Amino acid sequence: MDPQTLELPGSPAPAAPPWWRPVACAASGDAGAPGSAVPFVGLMVFVVVSLIAPQNYVPALAPLRIALLTAVATLTALVADRLRHGRPLLVPSRETWLAAALAGWAVVSVAFSYWPGGSVALLLDTYAKTLAVFWLLSVVVDTPARLRVVAWTLSLAAVPIAVTGVRNFLAGTLVAGAAQLPVKRILGYDAPLTENPNDLALMLNLILPLTVALWLIHRGRVTRLLLGGVALLAVVAVILTFSRAGFLTLATMTAIYCWRLRKRPERRWAMAVVVLALVAVPFLPSGYLARLGTIASIDSDPTGSAQARWGDTVAAASFVVHHPIVGAGVGMNMLALNEERGPAWKMVHNVYLQLAVDLGLPGLILFLLLLFGSIASVARIRRRAAGDPATRAVFHLAEALEISLIGFAVAALFYPVAYNFYFYELAGLAVAVQAVGGTTCDTSASDS
């Protein structure tokens, strides 16, 4: 008998392992070991391809459909790895079941959709891809090291997006028709998730806290200088989009970080950010403050977009009042608004109303449970990891995800992105953080 496993009568029970280091970590089996690296690498390639769309810049890649090929290869590798090792295909979490319930209700909505064919097309294309990314992130990102790789991948992928935004501003490359408008809006990055300047601002905002987390984790000067430059570049690009929603999201996340850091050793950096923001006010691009002023004074918007969106908001709310349970069907809020306020062929720019119009209040409630449940889950992991040097990386990354999710909750008031990647990438990582907090052995963070 192994003397280390022998328990003498009256001897105290062995101490329970810390929350981040389950019993399986000390064993030789693979119950707590990470999954195969192949699906994870495939997922990172897919994320990069989705964000920077290299096929749009290298035409020879377009016929290869690299995003689809990478996704199929990643899914196949993951399923094969899970079946070979007898592991579950899903991470059993509250968020996973809520996402499944919301997807199921969206499928049911096809039966009463204003345009069933359009709803089916949305489900099989955009929403299916989104849910696949949510599932992959929740299952494949199963160690702190992989979580850091995801943060690095997203942070570095944000660089060409931000650079393009800054370059388009300096070159005067504007969206179609912007030259005749009082506010000159830049053209975004040539990729589905960032082509619109508002979408570019949203993507950069949601990635930004992960970049900040990496800056807080690493202590090497060169690494911090690189990450600080990436973060500053993203902030500048968000401002140059002239996106009001982008500003509100950025301001919200910055305020939360500064408040959190006020009692931590990094508080001097929070103070530096506040001072830098105040100093930068005189250097804001011409017309930026006037643009922000239309947030509180809708009628003052010379472009008419604020007034139009307010009208759409009122029309959407009216539709929900008259159709509280059964909406217009997944993806059909545009047709519902045409019926409510006349044909304009525009979606309501509000995730919450978008879901309420499409799926009724049941769909909205499921989404709210998923959103705020994800925030609560990563906040719980953040609190449990606080103060322990061994879990410093998990703490900072959980905090970053929490702030990104709160940022999305704010941005969702102004964006029609209920079925897109933006939120579900964060939600998938929120599930992953819970798994990382309870099933991995690698808790060290690099200080290089």
Q: Could you list the pLDDT tens digit for every one of the 448 residues in the chain?
A: 443 333 444 444 444 334 333 333 333 334 456 788 999 999 999 999 999 999 999 989 889 889 889 999 999 999 999 999 888 888 889 999 999 999 999 999 999 999 999 999 999 999 999 999 999 999 999 999 999 999 999 999 999 999 999 999 999 988 876 665 667 789 999 999 999 999 999 999 999 999 999 999 999 999 999 999 999 999 999 999 999 999 999 999 999 999 999 989 889 999 999 999 999 999 999 889 989 988 888 877 777 788 888 889 999 999 999 999 999 999 999 999 999 988 888 899 999 999 999 999 999 999 999 999 999 999 999 999 998 888 999 999 999 999 999 999 999 999 999 999 999 999 999 999 998 875 443 444 344 3
221-240 vs 244-261: helix crossing angle, rounded to 10:
150
Please choose, from the candidates 36, 229, 64, the residue with its C-alpha nearest in 3D space to the C-alpha of residue 142. 36
* Helix (DSSP H) and strand (DSSP E) numbers for the chain: 17, 0
Residue 340 CB contacts under 8 Å (≥ 6 apart), including other chains: 315, 316, 318, 319
Tokens of 243: 């996106």
pLDDT at 183: 74
Cβ count within 10 A of residue 107: 14
- Residue 245's pLDDT is what? 96
Q: What is the pLDDT of residue 187?
A: 92
Q: In sequence order, which residues have a C-beta less than 8 Å from that of residue 224 and are 6 or more positions away?
A: 215, 218
Query: Quick one: pLDDT at residue 341?
Result: 87
Number of residues in the chain = 448
Q: What is the pTM of this model?
A: 0.89
Closest CA to 400 of 127, 151, 222, 100: 151
Domain borders along the chain are 35-89, 90-438
pLDDT in the model for residue 178: 62
Token reading at 420: 């897109």
| pLDDT, position 179 | 60
From CA 403, how far away is CA 378, in angstroms rounded? 10
Q: Which helix (H) or strand (E) holds 334?
A: helix 333-341
Per-residue pLDDT, 12: 45
What is the pLDDT, as a whole number, of residue 445? 39
- The tokens for 98 are 């809520």
**Which one, of 51, 42, 45, lies nearest residue 191 by Cα?**
51
- The 10 Å CB-count burial string (b at 16+, else e) for 35-53 is bbebbbbbbbbbbbbbbbb
pLDDT at 442: 41
pLDDT at residue 130, as a whole number: 95
Residue 64: how many CB atoms within 10 A of its CB?
12
Tokens for 384? 């449990």
What six digits make up the tokens of 151? 């943060």
DSSP single-letter state for residue 447: -
Distance of alpha carbon 257 from alpha carbon 260, whole angstroms? 5
